[in-house]
Amino acid sequence: MVKDYTAKIILEDGQQYLGYRFGAAAERVCEIVFNTSMAGYQEILSDPSYTDQAVVMTYPLIGNYGMAQDDYERETPTAGGLIVREYNDEPSNFRSAATLGAVMERHGIPGVYGVDTRKLARSIRDFGSRKALITDAATPLAKGLALLQSTRLPTDAVSRVSCSRPATFCAGEEKYHVVAIDCGMKWNIVRSLRQRRCKVTVVPWNASAEEILALRPDGVLISNGPGDPTDVPQTIATTRRLIGKTPIFGICLGHQILSLACGARTYKLKFGHRGGNHPVRNLETGRIEITAQNHSYAVDAGSLCGTMLTATHVNLLDGTIEGVKCERERVLSVQYHPESAPGPQDSAYLFDRFVTMMEEERRHAQENGY
């Protein structure tokens, strides 16, 4: 017996996709995107970079290993929704502490399963990311389209997912102190730094350069996060004032913020990069890294001319810039996520490079007596 549909996805161009609800029974307008990862749905759901986005998982089976307590990227998931082909509500995993659906219901995140995710992902690829409504199956198309047309997607996502006050994470045998600007940071970035003997002080997205320098950091990290980098001019201005005063490492949104602070430009991609299998060429070594990505915006390659930055990495799928650096000012950034492990350790060296920059800066300060 075929069950009656309980959910519907309406795209702003009039396309409709019927399915069944799981998670929260909520109506939500989001930007719809797709992710090609075969695993990692818990990390995706809890990654603040997906705030206000409905994620279409192209891998067909989702939920089968449940939700493990230690695998959250942030404690409170803020994704706009999750759309899957087949949802498994009976996970088989000794680490599982809850089902995916139960966690989504707890945090008010709607889900839809039973959808032709291949067709939906093709639509996003061909026509681009756009607004989508997750609603009841009985919602009339005209009503859904009117709601989509009248709803503006928010531009304050970073301020909503950033920490509200500084917090410090200690490490054993601490050698360096990193101040991390939290634009929606994944906790695995903090773990990666602590493994390298770095104490990490996390500060809000709008912390001033003076407040950060008063903490006497050996280096500053600008984190990943959601949305358009031009929506956070305060963070861009802070980064601009920090350049030359301390080593800086930017990841994902942080890469875009650092590039804007140096005078480059960014633009929105048609459907973004989201998945765990994106090949990136390191222009300095020629090596190919298999990377995890999650972003809608990219740095304009032509706009790097005249700035202090040079390109270090390029995406082999579409030629977009994936990394920049300035050795003189000891800054570097990458568009992808070195704290993830799709390679599985192809990009972990970037944290080591950041540590090396801090060591060189400390040595330079000692030699010059300051």
pLDDT at 343: 74
pLDDT at 309: 98
Burial string for 345-368 (b: 16+ CB within 10 Å, else e) reads ebbbebbeebbebbeebeeeeeee
pLDDT truncated to tens, each residue of the chain (370 aa)? 468 999 999 999 999 999 999 999 999 999 999 999 999 999 999 999 999 999 999 999 999 999 999 999 999 999 999 999 999 999 999 999 999 999 999 999 999 999 999 999 999 999 999 999 999 999 999 999 999 999 999 999 999 999 999 999 999 889 999 999 999 999 999 999 999 999 999 999 999 999 999 999 999 999 999 999 999 999 999 999 999 999 999 999 999 999 999 999 999 999 999 999 999 999 999 999 999 999 999 999 999 999 999 999 999 999 999 999 999 999 999 999 999 877 778 899 999 999 999 999 999 888 887 6
Is residue 339 annotated as part of the catalytic site, yes or no?
Answer: yes
**In Å, how far from its chain's centre is CA 299?**
15
Catalytic-labelled residue, pool 252, 273, 295, 322: 252
Is residue 361 annotated as part of the catalytic site, yes or no?
Answer: no
Is residue 337 annotated as part of the catalytic site, yes or no?
Answer: yes
CA distances for 115 relative to 6, 112, 120, 196, 284, angstroms: 12, 7, 8, 43, 43
Instruction: Name residue 339's amino acid.
Output: E
Taken in order 212, 218, 223, 229, the sign of the CA dihedral is positive
Catalytic-labelled residue, pool 31, 289, 322, 339: 339
pLDDT at 342: 79
Residues in the chain, how many?
370
pLDDT at 1: 47
For the chain, give every domain's residue range: 7-153, 158-367
pLDDT at 2: 60
Q: What is the CATH number of domain 158-367?
A: 3.40.50.880
pTM over cut 0.75: yes
Catalytic-labelled residue, pool 255, 278, 313, 337: 337
Q: What is the CATH number of domain 7-153?
A: 3.50.30.20
Q: Are both 7-153 and 158-367 of the same fold?
A: no
